[in-house]
Amino acid sequence: MKIAIVAVFACLPCIGQKLFVYSELTRIDPFGKVVTQDRGPEPRHILSPGIPRNATSSLRVVVWLEKPSAFSLDIAQNPENAVKPTLYKEVFEKHGDNWVPDKLQPVTIPYNGGPSDFPIPGQTSVTFWLDMTVSRTAPVDRVKVEPQLWAAAVNDWVIYPMEVRIMEPVIEDVGAASAMVPPVTEPADAAVRGPLKQALCGEKEPAGPGLLTARHLVRRKAAQHLSLASSRAEITALRERTMLPPIGIRRRATMTIGSLPLYEISIGSDPGRRQLRGRARGVIAIGDIAFGVLAIGGYARGIIAIGGLATGIFSFGGLSVGFLGAFGGLAIGSLAIGGVSAGGVAVGGTAAGYYACGAASAGLYAISTTYSAPEAVTLFRQFGLGGLCDAR
């Protein structure tokens, strides 16, 4: 059984393994120190990063071992698959007297490492680049995404506690990072200059190869930030034009039955998706507009539908249309019961059907205040409506 040790640095002083999480702008050398070019104030702790929808956020994860040994690095989530994690191992390059991580090698999750990951004399740290991608349709929520480290030398687990905030805006797709980036000997934040100059000064970025390096992914992050700024401006303008209320509720089950989630709740506006009303689709769907086996909403469509406007096999609503049964203010169905009803068998204040029962009714066999067809009386008694219809 895993024994979890949770702390700000996810370690205890007496244990020969540590797990750190840094900003993508803080590069760590093979000995656990911030590289010379990136040194400044004490690196901030990463506890609750925010990620817009349709965007990727990146962090650096550092495994520190007192002595090289077998280890395993995993990325746990709750709920499962809330984000799409991609893990890269960073490759160190020597420049002068300094080692700097830059090139990225894709690795599997979990990553199982060992002494071969410590090829540099005196090396204590293996560094990884973690991409966390949020889909365009993800609900706005807070989810746990926690790096976890196990080391054979101590036979124990270390967990870095982290919460990811999935944010409201949906940013536009950002193209591949194929522009020229500064040399690896520049500070890590130098890679943001190109997108900033292009956005603020109209100075086009020089073309360059689309390599898989940390510098190219830092540039990608800058381009996403600029797109996010544009999205936020558009959302503000949209709210001003339409007087949108604050964002509503978005919840979606991770469990699915076929292609449908077990439940989805979508109520209220979502400016990030340009939606004035929530749209829910699931086995159980609750929303302004809902489609499901059980659908509940302003407009609901399903096998059982409940709403202001409801359509389904069985429907209940202000305006209700049901193949077998409809119940509502205005009901239309094989069996229709409502203030105004129409169907094969219709009961209401005003009713029209093959069999009809109402104060004002029309049908082949009808019961009204002035006439009662014996066939209708018999049928309605079979439906248990004899007391209601006999009184006409």
Averaged pLDDT for residues 87-92: 94
CB-based burial of residue 307 (10 Å sphere; 0-12 exposed, 13-18 middle, 19+ buried)? buried
User: Do 158 and 255 fall within a single domain?
Assistant: no
- In a domain? residue 235: no
User: Do 149 and 295 fall within a single domain?
Assistant: no
> Looking at residue 126, what is its pLDDT?
95
* Whether residue 377 has pLDDT greater than 60: yes
| pLDDT mean across residues, the chain | 82
User: Do 187 and 332 fall within a single domain?
Assistant: no
* Whether residue 14 has pLDDT greater than 60: no
Last residue in a domain, options 143, 166, 201: 201
> Looking at residue 168, what is its pLDDT?
82
- In a domain? residue 266: yes
Where residue 115 sits, what CATH number does that domain have?
A: 2.60.40.10
- In a domain? residue 137: yes
Last residue in a domain, options 144, 170, 201: 201
User: Do 155 and 99 fall within a single domain?
Assistant: yes
Residues β-bridged to residue 295 = 285, 305
User: How many residues belong to the chain?
Assistant: 392
- In a domain? residue 230: no
Averaged pLDDT for residues 319-331: 92
And the tokens for 173? 């797709």
- In a domain? residue 87: yes
> Looking at residue 312, what is its pLDDT?
93
> In this predicted model, what pLDDT tens digit does every residue of 41-79 receive, in sequence order?
777 778 888 888 888 889 999 999 988 999 999 999 988
- In a domain? residue 80: yes
- In a domain? residue 85: yes
User: Do 259 and 158 fall within a single domain?
Assistant: no
User: Do 130 and 42 fall within a single domain?
Assistant: yes
> Looking at residue 90, what is its pLDDT?
94
Provide the number of structural domains found in the chain: 2
> Looking at residue 7, what is its pLDDT?
37
User: Do 277 and 192 fall within a single domain?
Assistant: no
CB-based burial of residue 108 (10 Å sphere; 0-12 exposed, 13-18 middle, 19+ buried)? exposed
User: Do 44 and 144 fall within a single domain?
Assistant: yes
* Whether residue 99 has pLDDT greater than 80: yes
> In this predicted model, what pLDDT tens digit does every residue of 218-268 receive, in sequence order?
888 877 777 766 555 555 554 555 544 555 778 888 888 888 899 999 888
Cβ contact 222:191 at 8 Å: yes
Under the banding of pLDDT at 50, 70 and 90, the label for residue 192 is: confident
* 3-state DSSP of the chain: CCCCCECCCCCCCCCCEEEEEEECCCCECCCCCECHHHCCCCCCCCCCCEEEECEEEEEEEEEEECCCCCEEEEEEEECCCCCEEEEEEEEEEEECCEEEEEEEEEECCCEEECHHHCCCCCCCEEEEEEEEEECCCCCCEEEEEEEEEEECCCCEEEECCCEEEEEEEECCCCCCCCECCCCCCCCHHHHHHHHHHHHHHCCCCCECCCCCEHHHHHHHHHHHHHHHHHHHHHHHHHHHHHCCCCCCEEEECCCEECCEECEEEEECCEHHHCECCCEEEEEEEEEEEEEEEEEEEEEEEEEEEEEEEEEEEEEEEEEEEEEEEEEEEEEEEEEEEEEEEEEEEEEEEEEEEEEEEEEEEEEEEEECCCCECHHHHHHHHHCCCHHHHHCC
- In a domain? residue 225: no
> Looking at residue 11, what is its pLDDT?
43
User: Do 121 and 61 fall within a single domain?
Assistant: yes
Domain range enclosing 313:
249-390
User: Do 24 and 163 fall within a single domain?
Assistant: yes
* Whether residue 368 has pLDDT greater than 70: yes
Last residue in a domain, options 201, 226, 259: 201
**Of the listed ranges 130-139, 160-169, 207-216, 337-346, the one predicted with least confidence:** 207-216
> Looking at residue 387, what is its pLDDT?
66
> Looking at residue 84, what is its pLDDT?
92
* Whether residue 197 has pLDDT greater than 50: yes
**Of the listed ranges 29-33, 96-100, 192-196, 293-297, the one predicted with least confidence:** 192-196
* Whether residue 342 has pLDDT greater than 70: yes
User: Do 124 and 181 fall within a single domain?
Assistant: yes
User: Do 44 and 160 fall within a single domain?
Assistant: yes
